Structure 1
Amino acid sequence: MQVGQRPWRELHWLSLMPDTHVTSLGSPTPPEAVTHLTSRYRQPTRRFIEAGAMAWLRDVDRAPTDTDWVASLEPFSLTTGQAARFAERHRRRLAVLMWHNFKETPLYRLPGYRHAWLASRHADFFLCLIEASRRHILEMGIEPERVDCVLPGIDTTVFTPPATPVEEPVVAFISPLRNNKGLDRVLLAFEKVVTAVPEARLVIAGTGEDEQMARDAAARDPRHIDYVGMLDQRGVAELMRRSAVFVTAPRATRTWNEQFGLVYLEAMASGMVVVTTASGTNDEAVKEPNHRVPDDVGLIADAIVELLEDPGRRAEAARRNREWVVAEHDVRTQARRMGEAFARAEHRLG
């Protein structure tokens, strides 16, 4: 149960666990191979997003009761509160999947979200998707035996490198176009990049509140900047195979910081090198030889230029990135590990 569940993420991983059948409740209809029941939401404001959305299911009782588990995302989510009450009512086991990585978020104190947390804190199992969320939920007082951690995976058969390393100085910004993803910083940095590397190009993909900023940038400098709008998974993979460097510049808000960044894994699996800003716990995804720099336009530009001017170093970094993602974050391997984590929880519960 989750508002606006993004495809190829948590629901996908659950559906790939061996010997597992998943029924999803919510909207929109997901592309994954699951049984789906469409449910409407009430969402009085769009001020908060993703798991923090101020939205809840109107008809949660449409969910099946002949299941082994009820699962939802994030302990403070309003839909997780609904899932917790549904599981208690029907005597089902509750699993909470989570990325969240800091207890200072005000969402834990706002009435609806606090009630969700008070309901979900009794979950049978917390499956953390990053080490930071494991540390966080333990800090919140949850017993270690109810917590496990399995790192996320991406499809390494979809996100693959080109036959030969990309030589053209193409930089890709692929992200929801929200203010906290830092398109403004990247555009300022790219002005400095083209001074050093005049043939460099920036391709922007995504939609959101900063879409007009992307359109205006492409209109001002069509020689160096392209805006291609929203791409599906295959379109993202194709763009990554044509690009040399991936860049974003996330910055924290009162209710959010970068938790991990699956798109970093997708870029690395596709033969790209990553430049991003240090935000939250994205160090779990962005490791050397990639560049994780302070939120400074000059430092972002310097990191991009350094990579564009050295194709040999870039190619070696891309090779290492691909090997690491395949070894540690292949989606089918990680889904199997998630299944093993659920099996451990079931053994503990008896």
Structure 2
Amino acid sequence: MSHSAVVDAWRERERALRRLGHRVDVVSAAAWSEGGRRVALSVRPDEPVVPARTIGSHPALFLYDPRPLWRALGRPVDVIDVHEEPFALATAEVLLLRWLRRQRAPYLLYSAQNLDKRHPVPFRWFERMALRHASGLNVCNEAAGHIAERKGFPGRARTIDLGTDLNVYTPPAYAVTPREVPVVGFAGRLDAAKGADVLLRAVALEPAVRVRLAGDGPERHRLVELAEGLGVADRVELLGALAPEGLPDFYHSLDVLVVPSLTTPSWVEQFGRVALEAMACGTPVVVSDSGALPEVVGEAAIVVAEGDAAELAKAIGAVVHDPDVAQRLRAAGLARAATTSWDRVAVEHDAMYRAATKQWSTDVTDERGLEVVVVAYGRPELLASALEPLGALSVTVVDNSSSPDVRAVAEAAGVRYVDPGRNGGFGAGVNEALRRVDPRADVLLVNPDAVVGTGDVALLRAALLAEPDLASVGPTQVDATGTPARVEWPFPSPLGTWVEAAGLGRLRRSRYVIGAVLLLRREAIEHVGPFDDERFFLYAEETDWAQRASLLGWRHAVVPAARATHVGAATSTDPTRREGHFHAAQEVYLRKHFGALGWQVARAGQVTGSTVRGVLLRGERGRSARSRARLYLAGPVRSEVRPDDARRPAPTGTARPDTATPVRSEAS
């Protein structure tokens, strides 16, 4: 579903997906305003595109006629791609109809919003709900992805360029005779944020050029007056809004295209499609540094400070007066545009759809790489025991203690040693390793106080690859005395806290596997993203990762035939501090996934349950329960102590923590 699909050229993604063998049905706006002109949907013969009338004209405040959506959602589909912003009314409409239709296919969202806005109610609620339950998100700039992830999308946003039709936007087929007066061009809507006035001021400083403006909008008359006031009206040509088919000839008529966008309190450049179209036509490009423009053009264009007419004039002069500069930009621009072909864009979307539906090609275990990651902190003798049975595998040791003894053990075992230079906690250590290992490999996390043999690793891999929707698997575990340890736990939740307070925790479902020994699927790592090392220091990192994976449609399982020995908390000498880390992590987790209200509900459950147990139980168990009640009354994060180099912003109303010893163990 996409209102932008009204533009024929922007349906090339769907055509490219069909060339990959997919069936793609489109529901499009019947008519929409694009680039300053009203565009009516024109469907090619046999193209499966259904028009839907729209109510409203703002991209975030319109609704579709629900009847075409209702019919489309009633058909059997594998995935629903909603090409609307997560906070848009149209997105809420589609998801409501999906629920009413009992359509279970996963849905994906799109966002270009690279300003971190706090939307008013109810749009803020629409946005969080839509993001939290989406199975995929594609964005056209990295900032939009970071914002969506912070607002609730559980996975890693996939940055995908807006495509360019390289069959339409091509260099001239003939040699262009140099123009007596170089021509500078602008293409876009004529409103204040697009910065056409800055271009006119720059042209006034560069008398040896003419300018052509393609577009229309509310600033047209002001721009005419500005050109007259600057004395450049005889060098300015206003072409009005051009149809897409007229743009290639327009780009060919230029010596340089300028995209002088300006950031405003409510808008910043989100992509800049015209820059890539001009590059594909062999036209040099100059852009401002507004929003995503520097990211989009990379090294293939000159980037100037937004609003600086003098710097823009200098950049234009460099292009039109220096053939070497112009030729360098043409070559770099053609190379950059080639990376945005619709076929490449379709491959990116294909990968996103396969992640959402868990439809992978069959992999043979021996043909997939495996990387082992061990995050260590001191206790080299334990690390040596953990590494001994893993000698035949590719192992990376991340040493949060920067210990010479840990380095010596790693070097003696012949494994990769990484010193991050700080004690950032377990999640940060894992992420440090993930940046260095083969991204095409599955990843086995092994605690330095755990021992697992290669035979058991093989059993884990076989189980993981046997079911395409498994994100992680773990072995059964025993402690040093051979006593079985619990490895599967229910996800924390506000309601779950009260269920456990009532002594009914064993009835809870929706479980994850703890990370003492845990095998992660490479496709899940790519889909979910790394561990959250900004908020979690010790404990709950794998809980958070597993919960995010579950929201994206993945499962987790224990492999009973595989076995590991886990000492558990063997590298920590302070159980009180260790328990403080555990409960602080629970608060962080609950705040992240259920908000401040969810945390307060869970906190009340913990205080109630601990207080009751503190009254009923005697001895150490009673004292422990009363201590936990006091901890939750004070606030676990407020009471936590972390090392100086692992501090993080605390949740609202809490103090910054201070010091700790990073060690991984099962939940307590």
The TM-score normalised by the length of structure 1 is 0.86
Instruction: Show the 5 A alignment for 1:186-225.
Output: 186-194=199-207, 197=208, 200-216=209-225, 221=232, 223-225=234-236
Which residue type is aligned with residue 318 of structure 2? E
How much has 1:239 moved relative to structure 2?
Answer: 0.8
Partner of 2:241: 230
How much has 1:325 moved relative to structure 2?
Answer: 1.4
Which of 86, 93, 109 is the aligned partner of 1:82? 93
Partner of 1:157: 167
Whole-Å separation in 2 of the counterparts to 1:152 and 1:105: 23
Partner of 2:291: 280
Deviations for 1:199-241, whole angstroms, at most 9, x for unmatched residues? x110100111122235556777554111111111221111101
Q: 1:98 to 1:27 in 2, by over 3 A?
A: same
Which residue type is aligned with residue 106 of structure 2? R
Q: Tell me, which stretches of 5 or more residues in structure 1 are unaligned? A: none
Q: Tell me, which stretches of 5 or more residues in structure 2 are unaligned? A: 32-39, 359-468, 470-552, 555-668
Partner of 2:106: 93
How much has 1:35 moved relative to structure 2?
Answer: 2.9
Higher alpha-carbon deviation: 73-82 or 284-293: 284-293
Partner of 1:7: 7
Whole-Å separation in 1 of the counterparts to 2:125 and 2:243: 36
Partner of 2:193: 180
Which residue type is aligned with residue 127 of structure 1? N
Whole-Å separation in 2 of the counterparts to 1:214 and 1:37: 39
Partner of 1:42: 55
How much has 1:79 moved relative to structure 2?
Answer: 0.7
Partner of 1:268: 279
Instruction: Show the 5 A alignment for 1:1-350.
Output: 1-3=1-3, 5=5, 7=7, 11-17=11-17, 18=20, 19-28=22-31, 29-31=40-42, 33=44, 34-43=47-56, 49=58, 51-52=59-60, 54-59=61-66, 61-64=69-72, 65-66=74-75, 67-72=77-82, 73-90=84-101, 91=103, 92-102=105-115, 104-106=116-118, 109-121=119-131, 122-144=133-155, 147-162=157-172, 163-164=174-175, 167-168=178-179, 169-194=182-207, 197=208, 200-216=209-225, 221=232, 223-295=234-306, 296-326=308-338, 328-347=339-358, 348=469, 349=553
- The 3-state SS of whatever aligns with 1:160 is coil
Deviations for 1:134-155, whole angstroms, at most 9, x for unmatched residues? 222222232226x433333201
Mapped contact 2:280–2:333 kept (Cα < 8 A): yes
Partner of 2:363: none
Partner of 2:394: none
The TM-score normalised by the length of structure 2 is 0.47
Whole-Å separation in 2 of the counterparts to 1:166 and 1:310: 16
- The 3-state SS of whatever aligns with 1:231 is coil
Mapped contact 1:105–1:256 kept (Cα < 8 A): no
Mapped contact 1:15–1:32 kept (Cα < 8 A): no
Mapped contact 1:207–1:229 kept (Cα < 8 A): yes
Instruction: Quote the RMSD (CA, aligned, Å).
Output: 2.5
Deviations for 1:47-76, whole angstroms, at most 9, x for unmatched residues? xx4x33x22224355441213333222111
How much has 1:333 moved relative to structure 2?
Answer: 2.1
- The 3-state SS of whatever aligns with 1:321 is helix
Q: 1:8 to 1:246 in 2, by over 3 A?
A: farther
Q: 1:287 to 1:118 in 2, by over 3 A?
A: closer
**Which structure has the higher relative contact order (CA within 8 Å, separation 6+)?**
1
Whole-Å separation in 2 of the counterparts to 1:238 and 1:264: 15
- The 3-state SS of whatever aligns with 1:257 is coil
Which residue type is aligned with residue 78 of structure 2? D
Q: Sequence identity, in percent?
A: 21
Aligned length in residues: 335
Q: 1:319 to 1:329 in 2, by over 3 A?
A: same
Q: 1:248 to 1:127 in 2, by over 3 A?
A: closer
Q: 1:128 to 1:32 in 2, by over 3 A?
A: farther
Which residue type is aligned with residue 156 of structure 1? L
Whole-Å separation in 2 of the counterparts to 1:269 and 1:251: 24
How much has 1:336 moved relative to structure 2?
Answer: 2.6
Q: 1:330 to 1:38 in 2, by over 3 A?
A: closer
Structure index of larger Rg: 2
Whole-Å separation in 1 of the counterparts to 2:6 and 2:309: 30
Mapped contact 2:43–2:49 kept (Cα < 8 A): no
Whole-Å separation in 2 of the counterparts to 1:14 and 1:257: 28
Mapped contact 1:180–1:253 kept (Cα < 8 A): yes
Mapped contact 1:153–1:330 kept (Cα < 8 A): yes
Mapped contact 1:265–1:325 kept (Cα < 8 A): yes
